[in-house]
Homo-oligomer: A and B are copies of this chain.
């Protein structure tokens, strides 16, 4: 396999972007990414675009064809990739493999979702769970994660205050992110006192409904060197699946799919979690961040909640998690999220994270999850020059 580097990124601001069509959001991120990469548009050979459900949200399939056309890059090989909320991570992996294979030198991995377009977002999102055995019986995503939260609380004593600590911390970070949908700090009392969505999860335990797009450019490390780019190398790529339906799992209080994807990425990279300086993880709900940090091996099972409450995952903690503000504060345009995580890794590793910049991080990890743990990707990036 050829060594592969990330050499640029582009993002829209995340939020409720009612006036901007789906195609224009992608075009904005793609053009920014091409410009940031400093390559000629004609050099681009291929594009992968993560999107969960443009069919249901926007009545538009054949997505990669129309989006690349509007981005001014028609003609390239272009493929939409879907793995529910892990669609972005899956698109990054596909782009990585195409460059690694030698088939193409410049491949853009993108993600987009326009969730505010008139469709019922609760229904659209529910299609990431089991249609016949979960959705049909009335379960929604807050309901699924509420069941997982109850199991975690029951098994390990995790508290509402520990859940709230995740939200408070991510809003501290997101307040420093110009791309964030909700860039403001919030108090523990705001989280604990918020209207309930699905007990024990309140409004501020949930990531928002978001419009947005993000892109990153990949090329061989050798080509990146010739271009004089800082070398941000992809050292590990892991992808795994598990049963979608919660009733098919042995344990509701853990996420084996994240553990498996991480094991694969670490095996390729030849490192362990202790070598990682910071992580972006999939905090679609506060309980998800706690369970993901445990599955990645940052903390033992049951220790994710106390660690969040003690500041271990804060920007100045031992294991910074979601310096971008995470899905909670930055927003969660589902197909774009996995790529936005890679954007944050790239910004941090190149010293471009502005007010939320960590001190010279060398290795970052991005974990992107589909549904309630039916799929997950893990990617590890390292500064090698």
Which residues in B have their C-beta under 8 angstroms from that of A131? 58-60
Does A110 reach chain B (CB closer than 8 Å)? no
Which residues in B have their C-beta under 8 angstroms from that of A84? 61-62, 65
Does A272 reach chain B (CB closer than 8 Å)? no
Which chain B residue lies CB-closest to A100?
B101
Does A63 reach chain B (CB closer than 8 Å)? yes
| Contact A61–B65 (Cβ < 8 Å) | no
**In the complex, A238→B103 CA distance in Å?**
10
Which residues in B have their C-beta under 8 angstroms from that of A124? 55
Which chain B residue lies CB-closest to A129?
B62
Given A55-B127, A56-B56, CB of A241 within 8 Å of CB of B69:
yes
Given A53-B55, A56-B56, A127-B55, CB of A65 within 8 Å of CB of B100:
no
A86 to chain B, nearest CB (A): 9
Q: How many residues of A contact B (CB 8 A)?
A: 62
Which residues in B have their C-beta under 8 angstroms from that of A97? 94, 97-98, 101, 103
| Contact A241–B65 (Cβ < 8 Å) | yes
Contact code string A269-301 (vs B, CB < 8 Å = 1, else 0): 000000000000000000000000000000000
Does A77 reach chain B (CB closer than 8 Å)? yes
**In the complex, A53→B237 CA distance in Å?**
27
A interface SS class:
mixed
A132 to chain B, nearest CB (A): 7
Q: A97, A100, A371 — which one has the most chain B CB atoms within 10 A of its CB?
A: A97
Given A75-B240, A98-B97, A103-B97, CB of A374 within 8 Å of CB of B128:
no
Does A80 reach chain B (CB closer than 8 Å)? yes
Given A69-B248, A77-B241, CB of A82 within 8 Å of CB of B102:
no
Contact code string A146-188 (vs B, CB < 8 Å = 1, else 0): 0000000000000000000000000000000000000000000
**In the complex, A356→B78 CA distance in Å?**
34
Does A313 reach chain B (CB closer than 8 Å)? no
Which chain B residue lies CB-closest to A63?
B82
Does A351 reach chain B (CB closer than 8 Å)? no
| Contact A83–B79 (Cβ < 8 Å) | yes
Chain A contacts with B in 212-253, Cβ cutoff 8 A: 237-244, 248
A-B contact pairs, 11 of them (CB 8 A): A21-B132, A62-B129, A62-B371, A64-B82, A65-B84, A65-B241, A65-B370, A66-B374, A68-B241, A80-B81, A100-B101
